[in-house]
Amino acid sequence: MENKKVKPKEEEMLIIKKYQDMMLYVYNLLQKLPKSEQLALNSEIKQCLFKGYELLLYAKKAYSKREKLKYLSEFDIKINCVKLYIRISRKKGYINRRNYRAWSYKITDISNMLGSWINSCHV
């Protein structure tokens, strides 16, 4: 099997695409939340997802590596917040194990790509 090295620009586009896919997946999951959580947890998750997307776009458009790192660090914080929301949703029984696992895999994949992007800015 051929081991391809992804170029930094391709990596940036790929992480944005994967993040968009995750956002669509999460929107479907949020419909499963009980009405009592529609305004609180649902709103927090959406707000965090959109802010994360915005930070990815800022990082992609940033010219200096220092500026990119600033946005990527903020994005990392948002991703960690989303991880917490996933755990809360699972522990409260709002989402099932299968949804939890799928959402977690998506976030792990994005986190790994983020780590690669951050490392490419340090070089």
Q: What is the total count of domains within the chain? A: 1
Residue 3 lies in a domain: no
pLDDT on residue 106: 95
The answer as to whether 68 is a domain residue is yes
pLDDT for 3: 47
Q: Say what the pLDDT of residue 5 is.
A: 56
Report pLDDT for 34: 80
pLDDT at 6: 53
Owning domain of residue 28: 8-122
Each residue's pLDDT expressed in tens, for the chain with a length of 123 residues: 444 555 656 767 899 999 999 999 998 888 878 887 767 888 899 999 999 999 999 999 999 999 999 999 999 999 999 999 999 989 988 889 999 999 999 999 999 999 999 998 886
Domain harbouring 71, CATH code:
1.20.1440.60
Is 1 among the domain residues?
no
For residue 2, is it within any domain?
Answer: no
3-state secondary structure the chain: CCCCCCCHHHHHHHHHHHHHHHHHHHHHHHCCCCHHHCCCHHHHHHHHHHHHHHHHHHHHHCCCHHHHHHHHHHHHHHHHHHHHHHHHHHHCCCCCHHHHHHHHHHHHHHHHHHHHHHHHHHC
Q: How far apart are CA 82 and CA 104, in angstroms?
A: 10
pLDDT of residue 40: 85
pLDDT at 105: 95
Can you give the pLDDT at residue 18?
95
